[in-house]
Amino acid sequence: MARIPNNMSEVLYIIGHGHEYIDTGIYLDNDCIVKSRWSFNGTAACIYGCFTSSADTDNFCLYGGSTGATTYIRFNGQLVRDFKPASYTVYSLEHSVDGFFANGTRYATFEPAEFTCSAPLRIFGLPNSQYSPIAGRCYGFQIFKKRKPIGLPEETSLIYNFVPVKNDDTGEVGMYETVNGKFYGNDGTGDFTTSPEVVSRPIAGRLSDFRRRLMRSAVEIEDYIVFADPIVEQICVSNWGDGIGVKPSQLARVTSLGSVFRGNTGITSFNELEYFIGLTTITTSAFTGCSNLTEVTLPSATTAIGAHAFNGCSKLTTVHYNGTGNFSVAAYAVRYCYLLNSFPTDHIGSMSGEYNFHNHKMTYMEFNDTLSTITSRAFISSLAAGTPQIVVMRRTTPPTLGNIQVFYRDSGGGSFYINTGIKIYVPYSSDHSILNAYKTTGNWTTYENYIYELDENGNIPT
């Protein structure tokens, strides 16, 4: 087994963008076993194989259309269409005369036949320009060979082992084949890119634990989380992973985010935050200044969002929450999120401080019956004057409003005005006593002409 050269680093995966492929020059046959690990980002297209046309009987390949749709599995002219990969899911694949397996599940069974492919193997593509290369990630690619020595039991040996690497001198990304000691670069157009996290530097002539696991049966390989954002992935792997990737069980033990994400302007999405199931508090200033963050999913265990947690996330549009409990929101927690149009306000149990959501763009907000106080200037929006905006209150007793500007809009220059497009709906009562209480209590009187009743079923009247 050859060692990875000193000027190359092993990386977690390489990324093809639909234009790149590796022509290995290897001709597969009926005694080959291909094991590989992939995730696809929307178009499966040509994943790997030896293929010239669908009429040939010596095909050994995997290809298809968009993820979630049919993917074609071929072996010596036999065709199976049952595998439908999902986007951003890691699959450990095994492909041979014994069948096709993905994450330990059998999707195909083939009839034995002797053949040698007439076209060489491509990774991230097929030797037929009719089909485009795959857009996705390859974590490793191995080819085994079945042999039956005379008088001895059948044996299987590794004959090719492709490891994702990056040349530290040139920046070129490709795969290093460690059995024969050869680097394979891109034979298509464009450039492969890679994971930001280096798995290992070439300090020893042996495979990493990750590569050893990849050689085993696919069912034995535990999946790592596939992140949509490579910068988030790098931070998570560096802080809580095992040097290879990061698993749900590792993130489940995290109880504080600290400041590892703070001020990072490269982060664009972090829905994988939901894997932090032991995290109850979104730390104070955890994502302050992450100005390109657009979407995040809160852990289901969230009980508190700290002060300034998302302050200055100016491109944040959506905050998801799949839990069932309530959480508190501290001062300035989601301030200056100018594009925010979706937040689980119906799970806010309490608030503190002021300007909690200052400069949002939510046109629908609902508050549950446990919220007793809405803090000063909490929901001043950045909506244009007259923009339709609905607020639904579920509490039968009017919550205390910190001041009259709670539901105002910011017109710029520090000037706040009521949004004339707002409609505030409160619980129905046959004698209209709840409606009257809202209209005549404290700072709610400012909104007297904008308060309406829900219908008897608790819905907005049509």
Strand partners, 135: 17, 43
Q: pLDDT tens digits, residue range 13-69? A: 898 888 899 999 999 998 999 999 888 765 556 787 887 665 567 788 887 754 445
Q: pLDDT tens digits, residue range 423-460? A: 999 999 999 999 999 999 999 999 999 999 999 999 99
Tokens, residue 256: 């504080």
Higher confidence at residue 44 or residue 189? 189
CA–CA–CA angle 5, 225, 348 (5° rounding)? 145
Tokens, residue 418: 């009521």
d(CA 248, CA 243): 15
The answer, yes or no, to whether residue 198 has pLDDT greater than 70, is: no
d(CA 382, CA 413): 12
d(CA 237, CA 243): 7
Residue 393 phi, psi dihedral angles, 5° rounding: -105, 130
Q: pLDDT tens digits, residue range 122-176? A: 998 887 655 678 788 898 999 998 876 655 666 788 899 999 999 989 999 999 9
**% of the chain exceeding 90 in pLDDT:** 55
| Strand intervals (E) in 135-248 | 135-147, 155-167, 173-177, 182-184, 193-194, 198-200
What class has domain 8-219?
A: mainly beta
Among residues 380, 372, 333, the alpha carbon closest in space to that of 349 is found at 372
Q: Please give the pLDDT value at position 221.
A: 40
